[in-house]
Amino acid sequence: MTERVVLAYSGGLDTSVAIGWIAEETGAEVIAVAVDVGQGGEDLDVIRKRALACGAVEAEVADAKDEFADEYCLPAIKANALYMDRYPLVSALSRPTIVKHLVAAAAKHGASIVAHGCTGKGNDQVRFEAGIQALGPHLKCIAPVRDYAMTRDKAIAFAEKANLPIATTKKSPYSIDQNVFGRAVETGFLEDIWNAPIEDIYEYTSNPATPREADEVVISFKEGVPVAIDGKPVTVLQAIQQLNERAGAQGIGRIDMVEDRLVGIKSREVYEAPGAIALIAAHSELESVTVERELARYKRQVEQRWSELVYDGLWFSPLKRALDGFINEANRHVTGDIRMTLHGGRAVVTGRKSEESLYDFNLATYDSGDTFDQSKAQGFIDIFALSAKIAAKRDLAGGA
pLDDT digits (tens, 9 = 90+) for 137-192: 999 999 999 999 888 889 889 999 999 988 776 667 788 999 999 999 988 899 99
48 given a catalytic annotation: no
> Residue 366: what pLDDT?
85
* Catalytic annotation, pick one of 16, 94, 124, 268: 124
Report how far residue 250's alpha carbon sits from residue 217's, in angstroms, rounded to the nearest whole number. 12
Instruction: Report the predicted TM-score, pTM, of the whole model to 2 decimal places.
Output: 0.95
124 included as an active-site residue: yes
Q: Is the pLDDT of residue 400 over 70?
A: no
Catalytic annotation, pick one of 112, 146, 152, 175: 175
Among 30, 88, 76, 93, which residue's Cα sits nearest to residue 57? 30
At 398, is the pLDDT very low, low, confident or very high (cuts 50, 70, 90)? confident
Q: Please say if the pLDDT value at position 376 is more than 70.
A: yes
Kindly tell me if the per-residue pLDDT of 242 is higher than 90. yes
Neighbours of 267 (CB within 10 A): 18
- pLDDT at position 170: 63
Looking at 95, 246, 254, 268, which residue is catalytic? 95
Q: Quick one: which of 55, 59, 2, 65 has its CA closest to 32?
A: 59
Neighbours of 132 (CB within 10 A): 25
**4-8 and 29-36 beta bridge pairing:** parallel
The residues, any chain, with a CB within 8 Å of residue 86's CB and separated by 6 or more, are 255, 257
pLDDT for 375: 87
The number of angstroms, rounded, from the C-alpha of 286 to the middle of its chain's C-alpha atoms is: 20
Model confidence at 129, pLDDT cuts 50, 70, 90, reads very high
Answer yes or no: are the C-beta atoms of 216 and 229 closer than 8 Å: no
Instruction: List the catalytic residue out of 4, 10, 14, 50.
Output: 14
CA distances from 102 to 31, 36, 164, 295 (A): 10, 13, 24, 37
Sign of CA dihedral 83, 86, 89, 91: negative
Looking at residue 308, its pLDDT comes to: 98
pLDDT, mean of residues 69-86: 98
Q: Are strands 232-233 and 254-260 parallel, antiparallel or unpaired?
A: unpaired
Known catalytic membership, residue 175: yes
Write the DSSP symbol of residue 362. Answer: H
Q: Would you say residue 218 has pLDDT above 70?
A: yes
β 336-343/215-222 pair status? antiparallel
DSSP string, 281-347: HHHHHHHHHHS-HHHHHHHHHHHHHHHHHHHTT-TTSHHHHHHHHHHHHHTTT--EEEEEEEETTEE
Q: According to the model, what pLDDT value does residue 152 have?
A: 83
Q: Which residues contact 128 (CB under 8 A, 6 or more apart)?
A: 8, 95, 98, 99, 102, 114, 116, 118, 141, 313
* Across 125-146, average pLDDT: 96
Phi then psi dihedrals of residue 114, to 5 deg: -120, 135
**pLDDT, tens only, 79-125:** 999 999 999 999 999 999 999 999 999 999 999 999 999 988 889 99
Gap between the Cα atoms of 286 and 223, Å rounded: 10
pLDDT 10s digits, 316-356: 999 999 999 999 999 999 999 999 999 999 999 999 999 99
Percent of the chain with pLDDT over 90: 85
Say if CB 119 and CB 186 are below 8 A apart: no
**Catalytic site residue 95?**
yes
Q: What is the DSSP letter of 69?
A: I
Short-list 271, 237, 243, 252, CA closest to 338 = 243
Q: Rounded distance, CA 315 to CA 126, Å?
A: 11
